[in-house]
Amino acid sequence: MAVLKIMKASETMPEKEKILNIAVIAHVDAGKSTLVDAFLRQSDVFRDNEEVVDCVMDSNDLERERGITIYSKNCSVIHDGVKINIVDTPGHADFSSEVERIIRTVDTVILLVDASEGPMPQTRFVLSKALEIGLKPILLVNKIDKKNQRAEEVVDEVYELFLDLNANDEQLEFPILYGVAREGIVQYDMDTPSENIDPLFDTILKHCEAYPDLDEEPVQMQVSALAYDEYIGRLGIGRVYQGTLKPGQPYIRCNQEGLEKKESISNLFVYKGLSRTPVKEAHSGDIVVIAGMPDISIGDTICDPDHVEPMDHIAIEEPTLSMNFHVNTSPFAGQSGKYVTSRNLKERLEKELEVNVGLKVEPTESADCFKISGRGELHISILIENMRREGYELAVSKPEVILHRDENGQKVEPVEEVVCIAPAEYQGTIINQLNLRKGIMQDMEEENGYVKITYTAPTRGLLGFRTQFINDTHGEGTLVRRISGYEPYKGEITQRMQGAMISTETGSAMTYALWNLQERGQLFISPQTDVYEGMIIGESAKNIDLDVNPLKNKKLTAIRSSGRDEGMFLTPPRVFSLEEALEWINDDELVEVTPDAIRIRKKGLTAQDRRNLYRQKMAQKNG
């Protein structure tokens, strides 16, 4: 006689995987990507024989070169049966809107603070957004191995920051951990040594509950980031808040304008370790990547067709800076780039809009020029650098701050909080420079021979200040900026005080000519550099533009000279990075960007062209 065994549902059905999402937030260079490395290394994500680079999440070439995170990225680890999705966020203020969106998709955040620097302006911004939506952060004081660490004072400063941001009682009881992310060590206090980051894992699981099981509810997923794949097109990245998401099923996509469209998902991915893995279904709480919806955008909600409930609107911060991208019209155009026409430029910018939602592209009166608006100099310069590496040639104008009108019709402009840390001997120079740029001092502290100066200053005045600051402090200072809001227009701010040395000829620069010219200013080129008429080859020592001939060579005669010729020693030229060149130029100048060179030129290449442009400018000003 057969015995029928009745099994419980819990025995037949595998238990649903618990899911927890966390984001690592901090100021630039606090060690976010290094901490994510430690998570991955101690969760056996890598093979024993696999060669692993530092900051493995910073996979983009530009990120590796600059040592910063530019794009937020996801990965996942398994600890004690719980799947932990980890989001590595950018720390630079230009990408703050992306951090703001990412924070919405997580259950808790790890606030990373440097043990010597303490909380910085960007720390305040990202923490305020986390507290606003009710998250309970975990504080990790990093780099406690520094000689000048002051961990206890930093913890007090973080408490003060929480109080300033009106944290509630639960949020104020945040766990405090100490560590050295580079060595993969986290400890409960300064006196209890540790060999790994288990204290952090344990604190995360104890401090934050796993996402509740809402698989049986109608599907609801919101897109918080975009990506692009050459084979499957535009990708939406976001959290499944409830329900079970499946590819091939019909869903309703609700966009920010309230339009509803019936679409299906062609591909569905989740994160396992560092890789994006295709799955047949994704459960509530998980972070997923979906394909098959070509018009998907930030803030769109994917809903069950029978239960259409759009989620709250995600605001995308308005741009603060704009630049004009021109087709390269210099005499050297097309020598090194593959893509040089306005059509090439237009197609590339349209492709960028697929994933870069903080960017705006507008046509201008000229078909060869496009107005690009973004969150800051770094935001737009990274796009230019990527285009340059892809083989594009273009000319870029001076960054301009975007002004607005308030409800009373008054002109307002963006204002930034600036924190300067430098040796005390330079404080007079720094204060003088910021005062010239319409800045207002907020605070000044001096300790151990270093001074920390906090200012608020208009973004317009801070264009070009970073290079000036580095020169004034001989590379020993640290400068931090963050947009803090809008204030009434501050009036005219003086531009660059020095003029430019402009080439009047086309050809190769000669040593003899440059040797004579270096007395009149600072050179940007070395001998045998190809130059063209209208190209800027140096900075004049006076506040006037100088037309110079860098091709002039020493006259050769048949008469033997008495004695030996004087040796010609040239001062090494000043070499600009892309950001430095954009900071240096004035309104009548352009930065020419090609795959193999960054040159600075006048908008009018000939002297007559420059006179005509000046007359037009004065006529517009007076008319």
Q: Give the model confidence (pLDDT) of 89-138 as tens digits.
A: 776 666 666 777 778 888 888 888 888 888 877 777 778 888 888 888 99
6 pLDDT band, cuts 50/70/90, is very low
What's CA 156's distance to the chain center, in Å? 29
Count H helices and E strands in the chain, helices first. Answer: 16, 33
Closest CA to 400 of 463, 349, 457, 458: 463
Asked whether the beta carbons of 224 and 298 are under 8 A apart, the reply is yes
Whole-number percent of the chain with pLDDT over 90 = 15
Q: CATH 3.30.70.240: which residues of the chain?
A: 404-488
Residue 48 has pLDDT above 50, yes or no: no
Bridge partners of 324? Answer: 371
Mean pLDDT for the chain overall: 83
Q: Per DSSP, what are the bridge partners of residue 542? A: none
Residues of the chain with CATH 3.40.50.300: 13-207
Assign domain 500-622 to its CATH architecture: Beta Barrel (2.40)
Beta bridge partners of 19: 83
- What are the start-end ranges of the H helices in 390-440? 427-436
* 3-state secondary structure labels for all residues of 145-197: CCCCCCHHHHHHHHHHHHHHCCCCHHHHCCCEEEEEHHHCEEECCCCCCCCCC
One-letter amino acid identity for 407? E
The percentage of residues in the chain with a pLDDT greater than 70, rounded to a whole number, is: 89
The secondary structure of 473-532 as a DSSP string is TTT--EEEEEEEEEEE--------SS-EEEE-S-EE--HHHHHHHGGGEEES--TT-EE-
The pLDDT tens digits of the residues spanning 58-77 come to 455 555 555 566 666 778 88
Q: Give the contacts of 417 (CB within 8 A, at least 6 positions apart).
A: 121, 442, 454, 455, 456, 481, 482, 484
Angle, helix 121-132 to helix 96-103, in steps of 10 degrees: 30
Confidence at 13, pLDDT banded by 50, 70, 90: very low
Band of pLDDT at residue 502, cut at 50, 70 and 90: very high
| Distance between CA atoms of residues 573 and 133, nearest Å | 51
Pairing of strands 440-447, 450-458: antiparallel
Amino acid at site 18: K
> Which fold does the domain 220-303 belong to in CATH?
Elongation Factor Tu (Ef-tu); domain 3 (2.40.30)
Residue 335 makes CB contacts below 8 A (sequence gap 6+) with 594
Q: Name 441's bridge partners.
A: 455
All CATH 2.40.50.250 domain ranges in the chain, comma separated: 500-622
Residue 187 has pLDDT above 50, yes or no: yes
Q: Where in the chain are all domains bearing CATH 2.40.30.10?
A: 220-303
Write the DSSP string, 426-484: GHHHHHHHHHHTT-EEEEEEEETTEEEEEEEEEHHHHTTHHHHHHHHTTT--EEEEEEE
pLDDT computed for residue 60 by the predictor: 54
Residue 317 above 80 pLDDT?
no
Task: Identify the pLDDT of residue 495.
Answer: 73
Distance, CA of 485 to CA of 571 (rounded, Å): 43
Task: Tell me the DSSP string of 563-591.
Answer: SPPPP--PPPPP---HHHHHHH--TTEEE
pLDDT digits (tens, 9 = 90+) for 512-561: 899 989 889 999 999 999 999 999 999 998 888 899 999 988 777 666 65
Q: 22: pLDDT confidence band, cut at 50, 70 and 90?
A: confident
Cβ–Cβ under 8 Å, residues 503 and 552: no
**Of the segments 286-295, 454-463, 531-540, which one has the largest average pLDDT value?**
531-540
311 - beta bridge partners?
A: none
What's the mean pLDDT in 270-280?
85
From 144-148, 279-283, 433-437, the region with the lowest mean pLDDT: 144-148
Q: 576: which residues sit within 8 A by CB, 6+ positions away?
A: 524, 584, 598, 600
CATH top class, domain 404-488: alpha beta
The answer to whether domain 13-207 has CATH 3.40.50.300 is yes
Instruction: Convert the pLDDT of each residue in 149-172 to its tens digit.
Output: 888 888 998 888 888 888 888 888
Q: How many Å apart are CA 483 and CA 125, to the nearest integer? A: 10
Under a CB-based contact definition with an 8 Å cutoff, are residues 294 and 275 in contact? no
With contact defined as beta carbons under 8 Å apart, do 508 and 489 qualify? no
Do the beta carbons of residue 418 and residue 463 sit within 8 Å? no
Rounded to an integer, the average pLDDT of 332-346 is 90
2 against 367, higher pLDDT: 367
Q: Compute the C-alpha angle 34/36/41, nearest 5°.
A: 95
Lowest mean pLDDT among 40-49, 252-261, 347-356, 584-593: 40-49
Cβ-based neighbours of 75, under 8 Å, separated by 6 or more: 36, 39, 40, 45, 57, 85, 86, 88, 271, 273, 274
Model confidence at 505, pLDDT cuts 50, 70, 90, reads very high
Q: How do residues 221-270 score in pLDDT, each as one tens digit?
A: 888 888 888 888 888 888 899 889 888 888 988 887 778 888 888 999 98
CA angle 383, 321, 365 (to 5 degrees): 85
576-606 tens-digit pLDDT: 888 889 888 888 899 999 999 999 999 888 8
- Judged against a pLDDT cut of 90, whether residue 325 lies above it is answered with yes
Residues 6+ apart with CB under 8 A from 310: 254, 258, 301, 303
Q: Are 282 and 244 in contact (CB under 8 A)?
A: yes
Distances (CA, A) of 604 to 23, 273, 536, 559, 618: 49, 54, 11, 42, 15
Q: How far apart, in whole angstroms, are the C-alpha atoms of residue 468 and residue 432? A: 12
Q: Are 193 and 264 in contact (CB under 8 A)?
A: no
Higher pLDDT, 554 or 388: 388
Calculate the CA 258 to chain-centre distance.
30
